[in-house]
Structures are given as C-alpha cells and as structure tokens.
Amino acid sequence: MTDFGQRLQDGAVLLLDGATGTELERRGADMNDNAWCALATLSAPDLLRTVHEDYIRAGADVVTANTYASSRLMLEAAGCAERTGEVVSKAVEIALRARDGIRTGRDVAVAGSLSHMNPLKEGTDGRERRRFAAAHYAKQAFEEMAGLLAEAGCDLIILEMMYDPDLAPMAVEAATATGLPVWVGYSARRDDAGTLSAFSRLDVPFADALAQIPAGGAQAAGIMHTSVNDTPDALAALGKAWSGPVMVYPEAGYFEMPHWQFVDVIDPDDFVGLCQDWIDAGVQIVGGCCGIGIDHIEALGRHLGRI
C-alpha cells in the first residue's frame, strides 16, 4: 500500500469497488435481520468471492472485505458474538483469495471495512439507539475489529459511514492505531427541513459532525453512503475540514424492506458522468456503495481505462 499512498500524493485517480452487501443480496445470499450481510461470509463464501472477482475484472483498484456489519456489536445482536473472529478473518481471506487468483496486470488492494454500525430496528435498515452499546463496550469492539482486520492481512482500513460523534472518534482511533493506511468515509442525509445532517443523527448538522469526527492521520477522507444528489454539498462541507486526498462512493436509490432490495438506482452512464465531474473537481478515489453494482463499476472502469 506504500505505492497506493504515493500514487495519491502524485495525483492519481483510484477506482474503488461498489456495493458488497446489496450485491450479495441481489445474487440470492441470505440477509440477517440483525447483522445484515455479515453472516453471508459464512453461508455464501463462494458467492462472496465471485462478487470480489467481478469487481476486480470490472477495473477496481481496491476491493472491500465484507466486514461492514461484522463487528461484535452486530454479531452479538444476531446471537453470534463468539464467531466474530471467524467471520472477520474469513471475509478478509475470501477477498485476498479473489485478488490473488486474478491476474489483471494491475495492483489491487484489499480494504477491511470498519463501521460503527449498531443493531437495527427489526425489519428495517434504521438504527435503534436504545440498543446501542455502552461507550466502553463499543470502544472495545472497534479495537477488536481493527486488530482482526490487520491480523487477517488487509492492506488498509476503510472507516465506513462515520457520522455519529459519540461513536466515530473511537472507531477512527482504533483504525489508526493499527498502523495501516486509513481512509475515512463520512455519511450525510437531509433532515425534514432540508438541512444536510449526519446520516442517522439528524440532530447534528453535517458540518458539525465533520468537526467532531476528525480524520486525524488518515490517508484519505471522503463522502460515502450519501445520496448522489446530496454528495456535492457534502463534498463542499468536507473541503472545509479536510485538505488531503478525497474519495467519493455514494449510494443511489433506497432499501425496499424487509428483503434488503435496493431499488431506483442510477443508470451506469449517468453514474460515470457524475464521477467524472467529481474527478474534475479534484476527487481521487471513486466508487460506490449501496445500489452501485458491477455494471456501474465496469462502466467507470472502462471510462478510466482500467479495462
């Protein structure tokens, strides 16, 4: 990953993969009401590997292990806390095997995903704050997760959906303590009044969340799991708080519950156009999350000359 860091410093554009969880669900993997896509690592390992392989063939420079929802906080809610180490290490192993099994002539990195996701409201994709872990337990869970990702062999850690000032700083600290390169992804959405706010903390303006969740020693920071329509304003806010390399991997559409279907997604060509606008504005890492699938990344990969 030293080369990837240097490439960012040299102004290169890197292609991140697209969604893993929604892509697994689209292909028929079982989702868990409490831990979403985490347990698909164990129940559908071959399917997960093909998802990573398809993103690599589509031109991705970085693929993300299926660990977004795999911390002890989530697996405990699913009754599988004792399998945390197994789930995390297996997810990274699958991503590494996918990377090492395909020869593209390009260097491809494997990122470990670390979020501060907490148990969901049953049958929804919404957070239920009364089920959130106490601060000291959450801190331990983030430290455990970061350590497991590093031990399993990730090239870097991506902190995904950082938006909660009560939780995110602990996750950032845990990730940077591993010594691995860290990329921080912040998430925003509009409240009922149209104010850009922290994703599931609509009581916190997004600019305030950025101030309370500093990226610290991160190698890159950016906007993720934020509507393509809200991403420009979120990037403008980020630009006032961060001066290093910037990444964008938005969502497009919305979950149709209770089956975790992501619908009303953006056309791949339209997505490529938006990404090029962001690249023209100085963004160096582009990709997608929920709703952005293989077709979107392949179209972007062709546009960027990866294929």
CATH, residue 221: 3.20.20.330
Boundaries of domain holding 132: 2-303
Give pLDDT, residue 254: 80
Place of tokens 């020869």: 103
What is residue 125's predicted lDDT score, i.e. its pLDDT?
Answer: 56
Q: How many domains does the chain have?
A: 1
Q: What is the pTM of this model?
A: 0.94
Q: What pLDDT score does 33 carry?
A: 83
> Which pLDDT does position 163 carry in this prediction?
96
Residue 47 CB contacts under 8 Å (≥ 6 apart), including other chains: 24, 27, 28, 29, 40
Q: How far apart are CA 147 and CA 164, in angstroms?
A: 22
User: 38-44 long-range contacts, Cβ below 8 Å, gap at least 24?
Assistant: 38/66, 38/67, 38/68, 38/69, 38/70, 38/74, 38/75, 38/78, 38/87, 39/75, 39/78, 39/80, 39/87, 40/66, 41/66, 41/70, 41/87, 41/90, 41/91, 41/94, 42/83, 42/86, 42/87, 42/90
What order do you get walking across the sheet with 201-205 strand by strand?
188-190, 196-198, 201-205
Place of tokens 């806390």: 81
Which tokens in the block code for residue 156?
Answer: 């870097």
Specify the pLDDT at position 232: 97
pLDDT tens per residue across all 307 residues of the chain = 558 999 999 999 999 999 999 899 989 999 888 888 999 999 999 999 999 999 999 999 999 999 999 999 999 989 999 999 999 999 999 999 999 999 888 999 999 999 999 776 565 556 665 556 678 899 999 999 999 999 999 999 999 999 999 999 999 999 999 999 999 999 999 999 999 999 989 999 999 999 999 998 999 999 999 999 999 999 999 999 999 999 999 998 887 777 667 777 899 999 999 999 999 999 999 999 998 999 999 999 999 999 8
Q: Give me the pLDDT at residue 121, please.
A: 59
Q: Which two tokens stand for residue 10?
A: 């040299």
Q: Give the pLDDT score at 134.
A: 77
* Residues 37/66, Cβ–Cβ less than 8 Å: yes
